[in-house]
């Protein structure tokens, strides 16, 4: 029987970016089948017409009763994992009775085979089950949390992580992952920021595509590919005050310009399924939103897969105050465009009656059933329902050494060097005694973060201490003292301080491993403070008094307020939750075996009062006056600057990169014409390294106000010391499109500024004009 119930977490994938990246495709144009910018894969291949499949499904559906049809629209959890409130037991019996067509939170070849047998041997029509799971950032081998992976800005690496996750999950019977989470997130109080790609529309869209491709590969018939889910549709990241599941109230323009593009990109890349969000949009819960699910997703974007709800989100339309009872909620959901009810048992209990009463047209039920059966067919389950449940393949696949190596590689790429005063890092050979101090220094369970699927949390994860001990040169001692606690209840305690201070005093350097318990981010993990929880800050201040160099290694799933640390410690690394091989990856960076190359996918505020703060904000009519920081009657705080602690796109390296001034091949472009921006980047430091070269644009005057900067391209390059390379970005008017005052999508003629540089706050500037 099942391993113990566990809690949450999840994952992703990527693509080689070439110079000249493109903006997300127009939101409201029909998606072209070939909208794969890198052009190397055809992950939307499943959309191709298949007359044989159509005949097979039509024959099958002709035999189905309404109850059997409703069964295909119902998805329940097994008791192997818990990812929400438990409301229904007895799923085996439901399978036998044909009351459910899909199961989630069940895995291993053996267990999925056992459950599949119930469906294909004990039900009348023998329709195979579809097995779903939250495979978010790894299945067994766990990669950094999704926000961390995104900090790599390395689309190939992200795609590879998703590919490996799919390979492991599919070997354990999983057909379908509830990932990628493509919600733009701009409020770090919201714990689910950790599950996505951060605050940016453009970066988020590229990463969405990479992850869909990684999970689905180029052919769903391959036994190592799984269906992807773009979630949570839509605008879940805009929860008011960062409180999970809270109300969303944003304009239609913000929905279109900020929250929808990553979903559109995922749909264009062929994401097979979409998951609705818990929140309302414009007063209508997403699971009841005909506008989102039918008008936008199906009609405007041409989505051909199926839509699943989030966990009991149909039921939740009752407390939302949108439905008077569950039966009405089910009718509203299916009529809006929901195909599958996740865990709510609302369709199961009420839909047949609603059809009989004429409240739901059976044609809508048939559409939903067809979309789901098609996916089962395309996965090859009607040929062999057990093809994913193969114990020999499972044994040969999970925790493969090359997967673990890839997890280490992605983890080191995800680490961001935030500060490095006096080249405190990499560690010098003279550091003969190293003190690892802090609650995250030797904690296996924290390394893999939340949504860690079937990943082992107890034995396998390599801690920071273990990584350092394995790497430290002979003759160097690495010792550990926890010193502080990271639970809220630890605030004010000092019990571990003396031991930690004593260790620090006799050591050459302190590595302070601090941050948040893994369960403080992810679902239902909102905070009102971004401070280091517990008594960590107090310990850090005591450690400072020892006069020893302090390297702060942060592990968390959101930006923390570390203004004090920025002013007082020697170096800071943001390591997120780095995954199964995290300790090795951090040691690789601390010792300089890997030169850090991560860049922040999210702005780090100075304190929580600045939230929401993101780089592509609007200017206001009374912007601050840099020449007069104390000016009155301008848009500023009295007690904190407007600027963040660390801006989006920021991250240091052990080498330095010099940028030439950016040059443009022309000063004006007409619609359809290409503009090329070129910059030469030189590795001007003493080590080989990687840099993420970023292109930002500002539309100076619009029919509606425009952000002060928007990312429109990036390229991650590797340069040997002394090497230089010219990077070229190509833009057209399509890259400058937005939702205009009349709500149409397109660009507007006028003046633009453009910057190319190492972050959203730096870069050399040029100007151009878009003419009529």
Q: DSSP state, 312? A: T
Active-site pick, 134, 257, 268, 310: 310
- CB closer to ligand NOJ out of 204 and 438: 204
C-alpha to C-alpha distance for 143 and 163, rounded to whole angstroms: 12
Token pair of 765 as six digits: 């500037």
| Strand ranges (E), 556-650 | 571-574
On the question of a cis peptide bond just before residue 694, with omega within 30 degrees of 0, the verdict is no
Smallest distance, Å, CB 743 to ligand NOJ?
A: 30
523 binds ligand NOJ, rule: CB under 6 A: yes
Q: Helix or strand or coil: residue 52? A: helix
User: Judged by CB under 6 A, which of 84, 302, 746, 749 binds ligand NOJ?
Assistant: 84
Smallest distance, Å, CB 80 to ligand NOJ?
A: 12
- CB closer to ligand NOJ out of 27 and 115: 115
User: Judged by CB under 6 A, which of 291, 311, 388, 729 binds ligand NOJ?
Assistant: 311
691 binds ligand NOJ, rule: CB under 6 A: no
710 binds ligand NOJ, rule: CB under 6 A: no
- CB closer to ligand NOJ out of 69 and 140: 140
Q: List the one residue out of 642, 648, 646, 604 whose CA is nearest residue 625.
A: 642
Q: DSSP state, 79? A: T
Please state the three-class secondary structure of 160-206 as a single string.
Answer: HHHHHHHHHHHHCCCCEECCCECCCCCCCCCHHHHHCCCCCHHHHHH
Distance from the Cα of residue 151 to its chain's centroid:
10
C-alpha to C-alpha distance for 732 and 23, rounded to whole angstroms: 9
Smallest distance, Å, CB 748 to ligand NOJ?
A: 37
Q: DSSP state, 484? A: S
Smallest distance, Å, CB 311 to ligand NOJ?
A: 4
- Sort strands 341-342 and 74-77 into parallel, antiparallel or unpaired: parallel
- CB closer to ligand NOJ out of 311 and 347: 311
The count of residues interacting with ligand NOJ (CB under 6 A) is 8
231 binds ligand NOJ, rule: CB under 6 A: yes
Smallest distance, Å, CB 707 to ligand NOJ?
A: 28
Residue list 134-173, contact with ligand NOJ (CB under 6 A): 134
- CB closer to ligand NOJ out of 195 and 257: 195
83 binds ligand NOJ, rule: CB under 6 A: yes
Q: Helix or strand or coil: residue 286? A: helix
Residue list 15-44, contact with ligand NOJ (CB under 6 A): none
Binding mask 468-507 for ligand NOJ (x = CB under 6 A): ----------------------------------------
* Residue that the structure tokens 């890259």 belong to: 735
Asked about 310 being catalytic, the answer comes back as yes
- CB closer to ligand NOJ out of 336 and 525: 525
Residue list 106-135, contact with ligand NOJ (CB under 6 A): 134
- CB closer to ligand NOJ out of 257 and 310: 310
* CA dihedral for 412, 413, 417, 418, sign (positive or negative): negative
Residue list 281-310, contact with ligand NOJ (CB under 6 A): 310
Token pair of 423 as six digits: 């080249």
Query: What kind and span of H or E run contains 525?
Result: none
Smallest distance, Å, CB 136 to ligand NOJ?
A: 8
| Alpha-carbon distances of 218 from 35, 43, 256, rounded to whole Å | 14, 4, 29
**Residue 511 bridge partners (DSSP):** 436, 551
178 binds ligand NOJ, rule: CB under 6 A: yes
Q: DSSP state, 46? A: G
Smallest distance, Å, CB 458 to ligand NOJ?
A: 22
**Residue 657 bridge partners (DSSP):** 683
Catalytic center residues: 310
Interface with ligand NOJ (CB under 6 A): 83-84, 134, 178, 231, 310-311, 523
């Amino acid at each position: 029987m099942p391993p113990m119930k566990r809690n949450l977490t999840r994952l992703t994938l990527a693509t080689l970016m070439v110079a000249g990246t493109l903006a997300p495709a127009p939101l409201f144009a029909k998606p072209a089948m070939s909208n794969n910018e890198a052009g190397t894969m055809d992950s939307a291949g499943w959309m191709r017409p298949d007359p044989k499949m159509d005949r097979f499904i039509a024959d099958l559906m002709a035999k189905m009763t309404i109850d059997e049809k409703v069964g295909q629209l119902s998805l329940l959890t097994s008791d192997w994992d818990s990812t929400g409130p438990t409301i229904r037991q007895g799923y085996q019996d439901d399978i036998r009775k044909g009351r459910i067509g899909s199961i989630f939170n069940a895995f291993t070849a053996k267990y999925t085979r056992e459950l599949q047998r119930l469906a294909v041997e004990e039900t009348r029509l023998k329709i195979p089950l579809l097995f779903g799971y939250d495979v978010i950032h790894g299945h067994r081998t766990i990669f950094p949390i999704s926000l961390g992976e995104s900090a790599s800005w390395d689309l190939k690496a992200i795609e590879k992580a998703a590919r490996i996750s799919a390979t492991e999950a599919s070997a354990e019977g999983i057909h379908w992952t509830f990932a990628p989470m493509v919600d733009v997130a701009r409020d770090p109080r919201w714990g689910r920021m950790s599950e996505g790609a951060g605050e940016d529309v453009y970066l988020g869209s590229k990463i969405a595509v990479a992850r869909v491709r990684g999970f689905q590969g180029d052919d769903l018939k391959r036994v190592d590919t799984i269906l992807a889910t773009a979630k949570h549709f839509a605008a879940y990241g805009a929860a008011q005050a960062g409180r999970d599941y809270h109300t969303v109230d944003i304009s239609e323009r913000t929905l279109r310009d900020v929250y929808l593009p990553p979903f559109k990109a995922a749909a264009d890349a062929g994401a097979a399924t979409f998951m609705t969000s818990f929140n309302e949009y414009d007063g209508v819960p997403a699971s009841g939103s005909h506008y989102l699910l039918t008008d936008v997703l199906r009609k405007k974007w041409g989505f051909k897969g199926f839509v699943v709800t989030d966990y009991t989100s149909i039921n939740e339309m009752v407390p939302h105050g949108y439905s008077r009872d569950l039966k009405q909620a089910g009718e509203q959901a299916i009529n809006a465009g929901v195909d599958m009810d996740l865990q709510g048992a609302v369709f199961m209990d009420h839909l047949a009656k609603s059809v009989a009463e004429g409240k739901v047209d059976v044609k809508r039920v048939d559409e939903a059933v067809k979309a789901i059966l098609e996916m089962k067919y395309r996965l090859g389950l009607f040929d062999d329902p057990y093809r994913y449940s193969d114990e020999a393949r499972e044994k040969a696949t999970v925790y493969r050494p090359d997967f673990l190596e890839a997890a280490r590689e992605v983890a080191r790429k995800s680490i961001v060097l935030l500060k490095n005063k006096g080249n405190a890092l990499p560690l010098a050979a003279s550091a003969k005694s190293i003190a690892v101090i802090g609650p995250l220094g030797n904690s296996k369970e924290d390394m893999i973060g939340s949504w860690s699927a079937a990943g082992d949390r107890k034995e396998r994860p390599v801690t920071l201490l273990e990584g350092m001990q394995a790497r430290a040169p002979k003759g160097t001692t690495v010792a550990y003292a926890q010193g502080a606690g990271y639970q809220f209840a630890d605030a004010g305690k000092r019990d571990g301080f003396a031991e930690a201070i004593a260790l620090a005093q006799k050591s050459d350097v302190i590595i302070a491993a601090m941050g948040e318990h893994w369960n403080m981010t992810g679902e239902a993990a909102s905070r009102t403070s971004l401070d280091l929880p517990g008594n960590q800050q107090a310990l850090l201040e005591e450690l400072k008094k020892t006069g020893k160099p302090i390297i702060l290694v942060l592990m968390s799933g959101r930006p923390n307020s570390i203004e004090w640390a920025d002013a007082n410690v020697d170096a800071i690394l943001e390591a997120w939750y780095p995954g199964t091989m995290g300790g090795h990856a951090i040691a690789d960076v601390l010792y300089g075996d890997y030169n850090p190359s991560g860049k922040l996918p999210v702005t780090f505020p100075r304190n929580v009062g600045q939230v929401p703060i993101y780089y592509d904000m609007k200017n206001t009519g009374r912007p601050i006056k840099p020449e007069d920081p104390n000016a009155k009657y301008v848009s500023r705080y009295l007690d904190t600057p407007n600027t963040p602690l660390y801006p989006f796109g920021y991250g240091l390296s052990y080498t330095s990169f010099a940028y030439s001034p950016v040059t443009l091949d022309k000063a004006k472009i007409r619609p359809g014409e290409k503009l090329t921006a070129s910059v030469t980047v030189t590795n001007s430091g003493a080590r080989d390294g990687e840099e993420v070269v970023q292109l930002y644009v500002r539309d100076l005057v619009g029919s509606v106000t425009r952000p002060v900067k928007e990312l429109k391209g990036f390229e991650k390059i590797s340069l040997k010391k002394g090497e230089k390379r010219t990077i070229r970005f190509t833009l057209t008017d399509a890259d400058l499109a937005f939702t205009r005052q009349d709500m149409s999508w397109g660009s507007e003629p006028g003046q633009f500024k453009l910057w190319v540089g190492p972050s959203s706050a730096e870069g050399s500037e040029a100007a151009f004009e878009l003419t009529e």
